Structure 1
Amino acid sequence: MPGIAGFFLKEGGDFVSLAKNMAQTLSQNRKHHLSLYVAQDRGLALSRVGYSFPNLGPGAGLLEDEDIALVFDGELYGETPSPDPLFLQKSLKERGLSALSELRGVFSLAVFEKGPSRLLLISDKFGLKPLYYTLVSQGVLFASEIKALLCHPGVSREPDMEALADFFYYGHLLGDRTPFRDIKLLSPGSVLILSEEGTFRVEPYWRLRELFVSQEEYEDGLLASVVEAFGEAVRKRLRFKEELGISLSGGLDSRAILAAMEEEARRIPSYTLGLKGCQDERFSAQMAQICGTRHVFVEITQEHLKDFLDLAETLIRLSDGMYHPHESTEKAALEYFRQAPFRILLRGHGGEIAKASLAYPVQPSRELLGLKDPEKAMGFIFQRANLVLRDVDPGKLFLAEELKRESSRAREALEEVLGEVAGLLHPVDLSLYYFIKEYIRRQAVASLAIFRSQVDIRLPFLDEDFLALLLRLPPQRRWSGEVHLEIIKRYRPALIKVPNSNTGAPLDAGRVRLFLTDKFNSLLKKLSLPGFRHYTEFDRWQREHFRETIKKILFAERTLKRGIYHPEGLRRVYEAHVSGQRNYAHLLGTMVGVELWFRNFVD
């Protein structure tokens, strides 16, 4: 994945070769540009790999003067009078770290101050551009991908088994953990400060808590302002229109973005990915026709299902082992991106925040609207967020002690990340806090790392100013699509009549019609009838196409010798799934992913 890499080391060998190796590890895309700065006498290296967009300036994200050197990847939103790196240089010189809280954007940033020498590593407020770091005896190394850190022989590859325990429960890691014990992810809205003497600290410059309000502060009359703020969020992300494309489904999130683009959507490339005859194919084509986009349908075919091992290893390699195969649509997407007529892609991640009851995996139920007990709210989130293990007894599946105490460890991890806000937020907002801070940042961003190997990503729903207004609305006013409907009414009302692929009904359907259509739609989807199919059928593919490859990986002597799984428990899970008795697709995909991570990163 494109991004930044570098180090600040007291001593070492050939710093230039190490810096080049780290940077080149980030991307093998020949269209990406490499910017590199090495100060051998200081033990410093800064690099960036990626597309050279105009906002990055003549150094493609790299900038140096007599006081500082910095490397920047991403983009700032709002009125910046100069290229982003130059604006950051000026702001940091004038105001120091206090300038960071006012930044709006998606970025990772490393700044070296020359006198007195210190290194600053800075993450954006939502952690949408990951920045990993590790401390070694000589100093610190950092990179947008873990694999770049492993270029240094002093970096430990020891697994963090407690982190893997979180993975087997939540389907992603929590907090700052990575699969490696000594490698951490810089927290969102934070700055890591390392001095020349080796003193080290991480401190926040912004907290997600600031976006939320107490129940007493909810305001019912803000909907029009929320709609306008979303339109502005989209407009801010339309820079470099000639590079822009949009991913469309038949649901609400991408539809709201398309609507807010208004006439700017005309002639923009758009695509929909899925099985031939899926509902998304039909409904997205209708939306594209209304808005005048240059639309294509990217079909998932049997060809994409032939080599599950190659697919799984690609996902593990591109995500540093943090996104495991559980949908298998990514291969078709990557093939399309290599020849797509855009380099920047608008996507609807985060749209669930504006329809809280649909924010997978937490999906608050109506009982949370009146709930007062923070402990019960935490328990609700804990149960809903169990994506992987489900009803499997960890004591019968695992041999590793850290994994056998899976449930208690996972609960402890949840309390670590939610404890400081559990008693302050409405239970629905506590669910959304988890969704933004952990699920989006650790699961969705890991999946986007795969896309970012070919295209840059823009996420209008994850806009600070929009969310600050949205989250002031009472939860029931942002429950199941009310905000999306108002956005579409305001900017492109013709899209209201195109049915929602999740319900089969137009967006203005009455309650009775919506109820009946939803039931009928669900039945036809289950029958997988042409025109009503779901866009993917991973559970069936896993049983029919991938089962032998999964079996070879999980029951290989190499796998069983690790002492992670109880062979008999593993066999029971595998047989229950392939026979159709249970749906353990996510669990099997995670186990395959963990084993391939060991083979590709640890062994």
Structure 2
Amino acid sequence: MPGLAGIVSSTPRADISLELARMSSRLRHFPWYLETRQVNAARTFAIAHVRLDTQPDRDAPGCWLHGEPPTAFTRAEYVADRHELVVTNDRFGMMPLYYAVGEGWVIFATELKALLTHPALVPAADPAGWADVLRFGFAFGEKTVARGVRCLPGGVRWRVDGRTATVTTERLWNLAAQFDRPADRHPDLDALAGEFRLAVERCCAGDVSLGVSLSGGYDSRTIHAAIDHQRCRVQTLTLDVRGGADQIIAEQIARVTHGLERHRFIENSDAFFGRWPAYAHEMIWLTDGQFFDEACVMMSTLDAYRDAGIAIVLRGHGGEFTRMQWAYEFTCNRRVLACRNQSELGDQLESQLTCGLTPADFHELFRADWAQALTAATARTLPAALKTVPPHLHPLDQVSCLYGAEYLRRQSVPSLAELRSRVEVRLPFLDPAYLDLA
């Protein structure tokens, strides 16, 4: 996935240009990507920005902006006279930033694999990160599968003091605070629908070719319904078996909105399964091995977007906030709603989130020391996550907080890395103005 990579050092590094080149090479998955690099004269700061050839150059002197503002972005600003780097990001961390801190240096990048090329970082597996991925399907908090590498939270200002190679994090936005608003501040449905249409309109801004996937999702179909099809150039794709419900419904939607001539059906056929090993390999590479899901099926659609001339794809991530009764492993069912305290809620979520290996599986598959480390790590995961959520909130709101802070940032973002390798992605359901009203 294109993005940023950089180095901040308290002392000059003779090979900083080479180190940066190695890091940025891991962000360049195709020769048509564009790249800019900058190294200061003191050889203590270096940054690279890799972007799609269809993305505008949003950089300015001393400032690098990557992503799709305002719903998913990472902005890095370098203050030369203080030798300070200041990074801000979107509310949910939908454009990731991984970082590592060592003796006299800090490195960062939008892909984990870029950090692992740096000679100061010794690659090693992190049991706590792997425990989460193997049991829950994604890592919680700032953990990653690589020891010493962290993932920046969303809605923060992250400062790197280059003189001491130390970092500080300041929270700028907190989802939990949104649930403590007075009841009279909540809008009616008409106002909310109107603001959502404006959010979609903002995502459709510019003279660009837009794409929407109509493969079965309520959220993407809601976005498609809110688009002004008289003004916007929209193409749609659907992946399904021939004659499946998704194909039939998507073609009906296309017929009455933007026209069947701008809709493409991609068959989930024997040819797809013949290419499965290649698709799985690329998925693992693009997501840094931190994502395993049925979304591997999406790999067959990636080139179709670019082949169709689509520059921007609108996705429905975050739509679950409006329907937490269908929010994947965070679904707020009757058992969740019946929880009387955070302890009960943690137990219920643990049962819902365990989609992979259990502690018993750890002891069967791993040597004893690793099995113990993995088991102990996952036992701490949900209690630690729930400590960030006010216990007085309704169970529905507590789960919504965890969904926004954990699932969106650590499960949805790796899946978006697949699409972002080819196109820009915009997320109307995470539009700040819409969320502030909701």
**Superposition TM-score, scaled by structure 2 size:** 0.92
Q: Give the Cα–Cα distance (whole angstroms) in 2 for the partners of residues 340 and 431 of structure 1.
A: 39
Q: Is the 8 A contact 2:104 2:165 kept in 1?
A: no
- Paired residues for 1:338-377 under 5 Å: 338-369=306-337, 371-377=339-345
Q: How do residues 3-82 of structure 1 correspond to structure 2 at under 5 angstroms?
A: 3-9=3-9, 10-51=11-52, 56=56, 60-64=57-61, 69-76=62-69
Deviations along 1:52-73, whole A, 9 cap, x unmatched? Answer: 567x5xxx23322xxxx12110
Aligned 8 A contact 1:6 1:46 in 2? yes
- The Cα of 1:122 is off from its aligned counterpart by 2.5
Cα 1:125–1:241 shift into 2, 3 Å: same
* Amino acid aligned to 1:398: F
Q: Which residue of 2 aligns with 1:386?
A: 354
- Residue 176 of structure 1 aligns with which residue? 142
Greater mean alpha carbon deviation, residues 169-178 or residues 192-201: 192-201
Look at both structures and tell me which one has the larger radius of gyration over its CA atoms: 1
Q: Distance in 1 between matches of 2:371 and 2:209?
A: 46
Structure 1 SS opposite 2:215: coil
Evaluate the alpha carbon distance shift between residue 215 and residue 190 of structure 1 in structure 2; reply closer, same or farther with a 3 A threshold.
closer
* Cα pair 1:212 1:429 within 8 Å, conserved: no
Q: CA deviation at 1:341?
A: 1.8
Q: Does 1:130 align with 2:123?
A: no
Check the 8 A contact 1:165/1:402 in 2, yes or no: no
* 2:425 aligns with one of 426, 432, 457: 457
Q: 2:255 aligns with which of 289, 293, 309?
A: 289
What is the CA distance between 1:196 and its match in structure 2?
A: 3.0
The answer to whether the 8 A contact 1:161-1:403 is kept is no
1:246 alignment partner in structure 2:
212
CA contact (8 A) 1:133 1:141 kept: yes
Matched position secondary structure for 2:159:
strand
What is the distance in 1 between the residues matched to 2:184 and 2:17?
Answer: 55
- Tell me whether 1:448 sits opposite 2:416 in the alignment: yes
Tell me the amino acid that sits aligned with residue 379 of structure 1.
D
* Counterpart mapping for 1:520-539 below 5 A: none
Kindly tell me: are residues 273 and 390 of structure 1, through their superposed partners in 2, closer, same or farther at Cα, counting changes over 3 Å?
A: farther
Structure 1 unpaired stretches of 5+ = 77-103, 471-603
How far off is 1:8 after superposition? 1.4
1:444-593 equivalences in 2 (<5 Å): 444-470=412-438
Q: CA deviation at 1:360?
A: 0.6
Unpaired stretches in structure 2, ≥5 consecutive residues: none
> Is the partner of 2:307 in helix, strand or coil?
coil
Whether contact under 8 Å (1:177, 1:184) holds in the other structure is yes
8 Å CA contact 1:275–1:301 kept in 2: the answer is: yes
The 3 A distance-change label for structure 1 pair 210 and 373 is closer
Give the conservation status (yes or no) of the 8 Å contact 1:36–1:62: no
Higher mean C-alpha displacement, 287-296 vs 397-406 = 397-406
Give distance in 2, aligned partners of 1:418 and 1:207.
Answer: 18
Q: 2:141 matched to 1:148?
A: no
Q: Distance in 2 between matches of 1:220 and 1:195?
A: 41
Q: CA separation of 1:50/1:400 partners in 2, compared to 1, >3 Å: closer, same or farther?
A: farther
Q: Alpha-carbon deviation of 1:275? A: 1.9
* Distance verdict in 2 for CA 1:218–1:211, change over 3 Å: farther
Paired amino acid for 1:403: A
Letter in 2 for 1:428: L
> Separation in 2 of the partners of 1:217 and 1:334?
43
Distance in 2 (CA, whole Å) between partners of 1:320 and 1:268 is 31
Deviations 1:447-492 (A, max 9, x none): 111111111111111223322333xxxxxxxxxxxxxxxxxxxxxx
CA RMSD in angstroms, aligned pairs only? 2.4
Compared with structure 1, are the counterparts of its residues 30 and 243 closer, same or farther at alpha carbon in structure 2 (3 Å cutoff)? Answer: farther
Against the structure 1 CA distance between its residues 207 and 424, is the aligned structure 2 distance closer, same or farther, given a 3 Å change threshold? Answer: farther
CA 1:275/1:325 → structure 2, altered by over 3 Å: closer, same or farther? Answer: same
Matched letter for residue 427 of structure 1: P
**TM-score (norm. length: structure 1):** 0.68
- C-alpha displacement of 1:334: 2.4
Q: What letter is aligned with 2:58?
A: G
2-structure distance, mates of 1:469, 1:398:
48
Residues 243-322 of structure 1 aligned to structure 2 (within 5 Å)? 243-264=209-230, 267-293=233-259, 294-322=262-290
Distance in 1 between the 2:410 and 2:232 partners?
Answer: 34
Cα 1:112–1:266 change in 2 (3 A) is closer
- Specify the code of the residue in structure 2 equivalent to 1:49: V
Question: 2:94 is aligned with what amino acid?
Answer: L
Q: In the TM superposition, what whole-angstrom CA distance separates every residue of 1:215-238 from its partner, at most 9, and x where no partner exists?
A: 974767622222122111111101
Q: Does 1:157 align with 2:157?
A: no
Q: 1:390 to 1:412 in 2, by over 3 A?
A: closer
The aligned residue for residue 331 of structure 1 is: 299
SS of alignment partner, residue 63 of structure 1 = coil
Q: Aligned partners of 1:399, 1:265: CA distance in 2, in Å?
A: 60
Please point out which of 191, 197, 202 is paired with 2:168: 202
Change (3 A) 1:70 1:52: farther
Partner SS for 1:242: coil
